Amino acid sequence: MRKLIYTVLCLMLASTCLFAQADKRDVRAGNRKFKKDNYKEAEIDYRKAVLKDSLSVAASYNLASSLYKQEDWDGAGKALEQVKDVAPAGEHAADWQYNSGDVALQKKDYAAAVKAFRESLLLNPDDLDAKENYIYAKKMLENQQNGGGGNDQNQNDQNQDQNQQNQDNQDNQNDQQDQNQQDQDQNQDQQQQQPQEQIISPQQAQQMLQAIQAKEKETQDKVKKEKAEALKSRQKDKNW
């Protein structure tokens, strides 16, 4: 709807130029400020014009434009309502109906919006924006009459799907954690059943080697001593 609203606002601005020829000084001053995006200052000038001529279509129409720019939907609607008895019979009736419909859309008064856009299309059948807004307003009215309808239901469905997906993901995560815990427990059991291989440091290995070498030297010395004693004993026997 933002694009359509922007189109409406451009239409309002164009309409202020159309009305400027017949407007008095306050309306023309408001138009100049409106074009400079000084909507609040333009509102003041338009209100002055309305005070001087309450049936001025240009003043009320442009006042509604400035209020719409300020997102004052209620104020814009009241300004358009001010000339409801004269505007529909004038040369800018289609524009008045169109803007009345757009204000009604902003206020979510879809029944009034449908009626206004329909009247605008009857006056200007080639207005594509009015056709699009009419279709949109009609669809929103049907949803409203059906108790909120499509958009809310779609949102609820999406929320339910998201919740289910989150639950599935949580279940999968829990299953994975259980499996990882089982694998970890199994590995621990296998490690406990298997003899642990002793890991020694280089210093311990050096000490073990030195101990073995010392033991070997001790054995060799003992053997040499026994041989020497045996040889000495034979020599004594020979001398005898």
What's the farthest any 2 CA atoms get from each other in the chain?
A: 165
Tens of pLDDT, residues 29-56: 889 999 999 999 999 998 998 998 888 8
Angstrom distance (rounded) from CA 28 to CA 109: 32
Domain boundaries, the chain: 2-146
Domain 2-146 class, CATH top level: mainly alpha
Tens of pLDDT, residues 195-206: 554 566 777 777
What pLDDT was estimated at residue 169? 66
Angstrom distance (rounded) from CA 113 to CA 211: 104
The CA distances from residue 151 to 135, 142, 154, 238, in Å, are 16, 11, 5, 126
Q: What pTM was computed for the model? A: 0.53
Whole-number mean pLDDT of the chain? 76
Give just the sign of the alpha carbon dihedral 117, 118, 124, 126: positive
Tens of pLDDT, residues 138-151: 999 999 898 864 45
